Amino acid sequence: ETGVTQSPTHLIKTRGQQVTLRCSSQSGHNTVSWYQQALGQGPQFIFQYYREEENGRGNFPPRFSGLQFPNYSSELNVNALELDDSALYLCASSLVSFPRSDGYTFGSGTRLTVV
């Protein structure tokens, strides 16, 4: 299977609820990164997983958490949703290499709306 698949594509949640977003990485990739993109802004890095371990985190509170599974699929969990969490959530997979020779492969994203 090629490409990165994200589910669901759209989601509406109420403030205070919890949400889980899912991502299936591109075959052969061992790293997954999650980004939040507010309307009209660039993607903001949330965290990155390499071989099931978190190996980098952006400026996001602990209520944003994640998992990477042995098959390199991944989840992003957000607790206690706030209105400002409304955004496009992007998952990207990549293959760690030194030096890097390829870019990230992004999924189409999950559009989360918090009301």
Q: Which residues bind another protein (CB under 8 A)?
A: 4, 6, 33, 35, 41-45, 48, 50, 56, 58-59, 88, 90, 92, 96-109, 111
Nearest distance from C-beta of residue 16 to another protein, angstroms? 26
User: Of the two residues 40 and 70, which places its CB atom closer to another protein in the complex?
Assistant: 40
Q: How far is the CB of 100 from another protein (least distance, A)?
A: 4
CB of 64 to another protein, least distance (A): 14
Closest to another protein by CB, 70 or 103? 103
Nearer to another protein among residue 16 and residue 56 (C-beta): 56
C-alpha triplet 91, 36, 99: angle, nearest 5°: 55
